[in-house]
Amino acid sequence: MITIKSIAATFKKKISMKWKSLIFTAFVFLLSSTVFSQSVETVSASRKANLKNQLDYRYKGGFYSLEKKFNNMVTYPDFARMNCIMGIVVLSLVVDCEGVPREIKMKTALGYGTNEELTNFFTATQGEWNKCTDDKYTRFEIPIQFFIEGTETNREDALFICEGEMPGHTCNDDNYYLKKVNNSLEKGNGKRALKHINILLLRDPYNLTYQEMKKQALALENE
């Protein structure tokens, strides 16, 4: 015989199972997100450690001597700072086994005077490199960040950081552009999404999530 009590018990059991399922799903999502975050952090730490070891071998005085020279010599171009231009320049560089820096290129470039600032810096290091006998120690890919104080952005990936004072106005955080991207993607506006994704990728070029978002935006634009 079906009673109100038995119906209530069945309903309670279903609700309990539903909550258990939701809690389990949330736990799995949280765990996977944590693992992904740790994986990204590990890759970043490994990349920087390898670069430091290479610079310790090639640059006279090692990585920290080059970092000190960078901090003393590189300044934030006012034109870039006033326009809130910030991000990570991935700079490729060849220092031949005779110790001569050449082939200085920006794989990701910010412009606004930052390219010239970095080119001048590495050109000025001529004569400060140890000689080598193996070409595998001649190529470098160095992430260098131009960061404006008080702005929320990723600061984990850069090997060198040039920090500038905040201009007379507040610069937008990464979350500002991320919200713009998500809104544009939801509305199917790939062109508008790309505009903001490209800003995020300049700030965080190794970010796999941003790279996937760019693919989505390009797909929308080509529809």
User: What CA–CA distance (Å, rounded) separates 47 from 41?
Assistant: 10
Sign of CA pseudo-dihedral 108, 211, 147, 174 = positive
The number of residues in the chain equals: 223
Query: Does 5 score more than 90 pLDDT?
Result: no
pLDDT category at 46 given cuts 50, 70, 90 is confident
Pairing of strands 160-164, 87-95: unpaired
pLDDT at 138: 94
The whole-number average pLDDT for the span 106-117 is: 95
| DSSP string of the chain, one letter each residue | ---HHHHHHHHHHHHHHHHHHHHHHHHHHHHHHHHHHHHHHHHHHHHHHHHHHHHHHHBTT-HHHHHHHHHHH----HHHHHTT--EEEEEEEEE-TTS-EEEEEEEE---TTHHHHHHHHHHTTTT-B---S-GGGSEEEEEEEEEETT-----SS-SEEEEE---SSPPPPHHHHHHHHHHHHHTT-HHHHHHHHHHHHHH-TT-HHHHHHHHHHHHHHT-
Question: Is it the case that residue 98 has pLDDT exceeding 70?
Answer: yes
| All residues at 6 or more sequence positions from 210 whose CB lies less than 8 Å from its CB, including other chains | 197, 200, 201, 204
Q: Per residue in 141-196, pLDDT tens?
A: 999 999 999 999 998 999 999 999 999 899 999 999 999 999 999 999 999 999 99
What is d(CA 24, CA 17) in angstroms, rounded to the nearest whole number?
10
Q: How far apart are CA 129 and CA 57, in angstroms?
A: 9
pTM of the prediction? 0.77
Confidence category of residue 29, pLDDT binned at 50, 70, 90: very low
> Residues 63, 55: contact at Cβ < 8 Å?
yes
